[in-house]
Amino acid sequence: MNKTAPIYGLLAEFEQPEELINAVRRARAAGYRKMDAYTPFPVEHLAEELGFHRTALPVIVLIGGVIGCAGGFFLQYWISVLDYPLNVGSRPFNSWPSFIPVTFELTILCAALSAVLGMLGLNGLPMPYHPLFNSPRFALASRNRFFLCIESGDKQFNRETTAKFLSELKPKGGVSQVEE
């Protein structure tokens, strides 16, 4: 292991989700802030323990839905009333009950697209390269292991003391460096 090359962070590997939650709690108590946990499935309360409470996603989806709804209705109104008014069996040009199905479908479509694109955008995906993938053990994060990574950008980060702190949490899979 090179002792001087810049590193992304230190990675501790656990076997059970409870051990990881416990480790995150202790790391927060010790004052670490720039860190993230990696798990093979969503673990309840883990994001909250990391200090992440609210996501802007519902607001994004609401805005998407409102745009779809208003845009969908206006599309039909503009076509049927303003651009090309056509008398169909003496129905009013603005026959709004007939416009509801398409308005509804476009509401759902825009809301769903904003949910997916919003989630990917906020998560910074697609991200083809990430330093964590340099760690050979990290592939198990998508199988059965639970990881805590304290990043080198943290104010308290120190290669020796942080490594010592992580080993005191007794990670069964050990502690390793993640190269930049």
Partner 1 sequence: MSQEIIGSGHTYATITDKISSIVLTRKTPHGWLFGFGVGFVLVMLLLVSITYLFVEGIGIWGVNIPVAWGFAIVNFVWWIGIGHAGTLISAILLLLRQGWRQSINRFAEAMTLFAVACAGLFPVLHLGRPWFAYWLIPYPSTMGIWPQFRSPLVWDVFAVSTYFTVSLLFWFIGLIPDLATLRDRSSSRTGRVVYGILAMGWRGSAIHWHRYEMAYLLLAGLATPLVVSVHTVVSFDFAISILPGWHTTIFPPYFVAGAIYSGFAMVMVLAIPIRAVYGLEDFITMRHLQNMAKVMLATGLIVAYGYLMEHFMSWYSAEKYERFMTLNRWGGPYAPAYWALILINIVIPQALWFRRVRSNVIMLFLVAIAVNVGMWLERFVIVITSLHRDFLPSSWNMYYPTFWDWSTFIGTIGLFLALLFLFIRFLPMISIFEMRTLVPRSEGD
* Whole-angstrom distance, CA of residue 102 vs CA of residue 93: 16
From residue 98 to residue 137, the character string flagging contacts with partner 1 as x (rule: CB under 8 A) and all else as - is xx-xx-xxx-xx-xxx-xx-xxx-xx-xxxxxx-xx----
* Whole-angstrom distance, CA of residue 175 vs CA of residue 67: 48
State which of residues 52, 66, 71, 82 lies at the interface with partner 1 (CB under 8 A).
52
Are 119 and 14 in contact by the 8 Å Cβ rule? The answer is no
Per CB under 8 A, 178 contacts partner 1: no
Tell the smallest beta-carbon distance from residue 10 to partner 1 (Å): 16
Are 32 and 156 in contact by the 8 Å Cβ rule? The answer is yes
- Contact positions toward partner 1, by CB under 8 A? 36-43, 46-47, 50, 52, 55, 57-58, 61, 75-76, 79-80, 83-84, 86, 88, 91, 95, 98-99, 101-102, 104-106, 108-109, 111-113, 115-116, 118-120, 122-123, 125-130, 132-133, 138-144
